[in-house]
Structure 1
Amino acid sequence: MTPQHDRGGLPGYAEHFEEPEGYLDFARYGPPSRPVLDAVHDALGRSARADRHTVDDLMRAERRAQEAAARLAGTDPAHTVLLPNASTGMFHAALGLPGGAVLVPAGDFPANHYPWRRSAGLGRAVPHWLTAGPDGRVTPDAVRAALTGDVVALSVSAVDFRTGHRADLAALREVIGPDRLLVVDAIQGFGVADLAWQAADVVVAGGQKWLRASWSTGFAALSDRALERLEPTLTGWTGVRDAGLFDDREHPPADGAQRWSLTNLSPVAAAGLEAALALVEAVGVPAIEAHVRTRVGELIDAVRGAGGRLLSPEAPAERAGIVSFRMPGASAAEVAAALHAHEVTPTTRPDSVRLSAHASTTAAAVDRVRAALASL
């Protein structure tokens, strides 16, 4: 197989991956690297030959992954906790607020809806559905117009799953002020978009998309303000002080982000997350972002050249790795069929098609898209 970097992927990064040339569905799932596969295989293999040292040794991967996630989020391990997925973190945040209103974009991904619906059903924080700006974007002006005295938090996606629009987290923080919490679902941007994560009080990400760590991986990073205001409603036995002391008493929640822990995670999954984060750190998010920006620009040119209607932001500074579009005169299913015929893997929605490129995506993938759209 020809190494990805020889065909236009990011050197130092792309050669670790083996996804097909036309794979453009990273916003749904990011195929993991060989280092991730090796780490998972090694951890699972060691578990099959377990001795008295094995479990403790394997579980040290969780701490190493926690430290790497903290560095990438611009915080420290005391403010970071590993989670099995992003939704677990969103439920922690939602059920941790005892009351008040939370601004939530009405068009956001359901993972940012259901936690707040459940919170409201339990008589705790209630969602106020935010009507976003043009093209569904969550703009500072839209948030400012929706702020009322009972709003205690804003919960947004860092990158919109439909259009790839990236939220201006620093501007949103300025609008809501220091007394409200900013909760961010970062799954569509963390590791591939250099955003102001420190502006948020809660940053939650799953590892199966852009981090390319596969399923059952994720983390949350919490600010001091979040630790102070969010009640540890879902704290489990591993989220308390002296978790290893079994004295038949209720222990108080851990001081830091560890209070969001429910139980022990899979050390096999943690090994994969550690390997994935190490690769991102080694190359650097700015370099990954720059390559993605180039490929996204080329995909947009291909869509426009074929007469497609772009749904993603025009300005490079406002978008991440997602290109959504419609083709006049062709249904989304027909566009997808043409892409499949040219061995391109998109996300197909009822009314649009989504392409998402990563730092291992080559120029040849763009050529495939161009040929597929021309065939229509």
Structure 2
Amino acid sequence: MSALPGPGGLSGYAEHFLEPAGYLDFGRFGPPSADVVETTAALTGRAAHAAGQTVDELMEEEPRARRAAARLIGTGSVENVTLLPNASTGLFHAAFGLPGGSVLVPAWEFPSNLYPWLRTAALGRVRPVPVRPDRLHRITPDLVRAALTPDTVAVSLSAVDFRTGFRADLAGIKEVIGPDRLLIVDAMQALGATELPWTAADVLVTGGQKWLRAGWSTGFLYASDLALERLEPTLTGWTGVDEPGLFDGEEHPPVEGARRFSLTNHNPIAAAALARALELVERAGTERIVRQIRQRTAELIDTVRSAGGLVHSPTAEHERAGIVSFSVPNTDPGTVAKALSEHGVTATARPDQIRLCAHASTTLAAVDLVHRALRSLGD
């Protein structure tokens, strides 16, 4: 592979990726790096020719990925991290682990942070309480404070809103709810795109297929000591207990750390993909990746505005991540989406708006393509 960037830039980082210039749909899927593609192909080949130690050797990819995840979020203990195939599995663990009380959940959240609470509520365990965002579609510490009741046991929200790209104040929300309530965070639209105090969360879940660019069926969960104390092992499987290899027909106690949230053996090839993706982020430098995303995001905002578009995402740098949502007055979003596609731009089109998401590998050519596409609407 090409060398990673030196202190001056990210050109070497961008060379690890193969997406076309107009790809601006990282909020939906982040095309994995060539490193990830090569790793998964090589390990799949090894699995196809399995020898005596092949399976044991492949299983070593899981602790490697857990260590990389722990470093990324800044936790000192890998025992507080476990791998999961997606963020939803982690949210179900959190929802079914709480035995009672109410949980504040933003209204109009992404459905992955809705259905776990609906399902556990149907069993009479935890009751979700919607928190409506402010007029700018933000969930702020003040809104959370106003919604707290003595019955509140947790707050569950996205670190970055999937519609607008608003970046939640995790530290401020945790301070408001206090040390005895859990802060449960879906970091799907955040990790790899922005920097936040990740361990302000008591439960942090993510999938690796978007901004981390690890491909599908990759992800992890971080659980604080408080979360490990509070959450019951309701969904713990046979790999989440002591001595999982002892098949004695008895129930074994859950392991001490976050691995208790394991249901069964993780896909070692997916673990390897996640490990390589996280290590690439680590070597390139999260701060530089985030800085490049901010720059491209600002350029996209300026381009949309210059073409008469109405930006729905936060424009203040401290409030936004990598998502730019917009509409064009008096123009159907389907028409805008068609123009973008005709100019080689891949974006997310919804009934009321368009979403553009740039990554650190996105070049100025993408911004120029968006400019041409939006200008063509007036032709």
Scaled by the length of structure 2, the TM-score of the pair is 0.96
Deviation digits for residues 222-258 of structure 1 (CA, Å, limit 9, x no counterpart): 0000000000100000000111111111100010000
The alpha carbon displacement at 1:4 in A equals 12
Q: Show the 5 A alignment for 1:140-155.
A: 140-155=141-156
Match of 1:184 in 2: 185
What is the letter of the counterpart of residue 145 of structure 2? R
Q: Is the 8 A contact 1:107 1:136 kept in 2?
A: no
Match of 1:24 in 2: 24
The alpha carbon displacement at 1:126 in A equals 0.8
Q: Tell me, yes or no, if structure 1 residue 223 matches structure 2 residue 220.
A: no
Match of 1:52 in 2: 52
Match of 1:296 in 2: 297
What is the letter of the counterpart of residue 35 of structure 1? D
Match of 2:78 in 1: 77
Q: Is the 8 A contact 1:4 1:17 kept in 2?
A: no
What is the letter of the counterpart of residue 149 of structure 1? P
Deviation digits for residues 83-130 of structure 1 (CA, Å, limit 9, x no counterpart): 010000000000000000000001110000000000100110110001
Secondary structure (helix, strand or coil) at the match of 2:136 reads helix
Q: Is the 8 A contact 1:4 1:360 kept in 2?
A: no
Match of 1:135 in 2: 136
Secondary structure (helix, strand or coil) at the match of 1:300 reads helix
Secondary structure (helix, strand or coil) at the match of 1:16 reads coil
Match of 2:102 in 1: 101
Match of 1:10 in 2: 10
Q: How many residues align?
A: 372
The alpha carbon displacement at 1:268 in A equals 1.1
Q: Is the 8 A contact 2:190 2:321 kept in 1?
A: yes
CA distance in 2, matches of 1:359, 1:122: 44
Match of 2:241 in 1: 240
Q: Tell me, yes or no, if structure 1 residue 33 matches structure 2 residue 71.
A: no
Ranges in structure 2 where 5+ consecutive residues have no aligned partner: none
Ranges in structure 1 where 5+ consecutive residues have no aligned partner: none
The alpha carbon displacement at 1:11 in A equals 2.3
CA distance in 1, matches of 2:96, 2:342: 46
Match of 2:92 in 1: 91
Q: Is the 8 A contact 2:165 2:324 kept in 1?
A: yes
Q: Is the 8 A contact 1:4 1:362 kept in 2?
A: no
Distance 1:319-1:167 versus aligned 2 partners, 3 A rule: same
Secondary structure (helix, strand or coil) at the match of 2:330 reads coil
Q: Tell me, yes or no, if structure 1 residue 162 matches structure 2 residue 163.
A: yes
Scaled by the length of structure 1, the TM-score of the pair is 0.97
The alpha carbon displacement at 1:271 in A equals 1.1
CA distance in 2, matches of 1:333, 1:116: 33
Secondary structure (helix, strand or coil) at the match of 1:134 reads coil
Q: Is the 8 A contact 1:86 1:185 kept in 2?
A: yes
CA distance in 2, matches of 1:16, 1:204: 26
CA distance in 1, matches of 2:364, 2:182: 41
Deviation digits for residues 271-320 of structure 1 (CA, Å, limit 9, x no counterpart): 11111011011011111100000000000000000111110001011000
Match of 1:61 in 2: 61
Q: Is the 8 A contact 2:4 2:12 kept in 1?
A: no
CA distance in 1, matches of 2:168, 2:368: 30
The alpha carbon displacement at 1:33 in A equals 0.4
Q: Is the 8 A contact 2:4 2:283 kept in 1?
A: no
CA distance in 1, matches of 2:353, 2:207: 25
What is the letter of the counterpart of residue 339 of structure 1? L
Secondary structure (helix, strand or coil) at the match of 1:12 reads helix
Deviation digits for residues 169-211 of structure 1 (CA, Å, limit 9, x no counterpart): 0001111111110000001011221101011100000000000
Q: Tell me, yes or no, if structure 1 residue 360 matches structure 2 residue 361.
A: yes
Secondary structure (helix, strand or coil) at the match of 2:264 reads coil
Identity %: 62
Match of 1:312 in 2: 313
Q: Is the 8 A contact 1:24 1:344 kept in 2?
A: yes
Q: Is the 8 A contact 2:204 2:221 kept in 1?
A: yes
Match of 2:252 in 1: 251
Q: Is the 8 A contact 2:241 2:254 kept in 1?
A: yes
The alpha carbon displacement at 1:12 in A equals 2.9
Secondary structure (helix, strand or coil) at the match of 2:329 reads coil
Secondary structure (helix, strand or coil) at the match of 2:184 reads strand
Greater shift, 132-141 or 234-243, is seen at: 132-141
Let me know the Cα RMSD of the aligned residues: 1.4
Q: Is the 8 A contact 2:4 2:284 kept in 1?
A: no
Match of 1:280 in 2: 281
CA distance in 1, matches of 2:14, 2:301: 22
The alpha carbon displacement at 1:141 in A equals 1.1
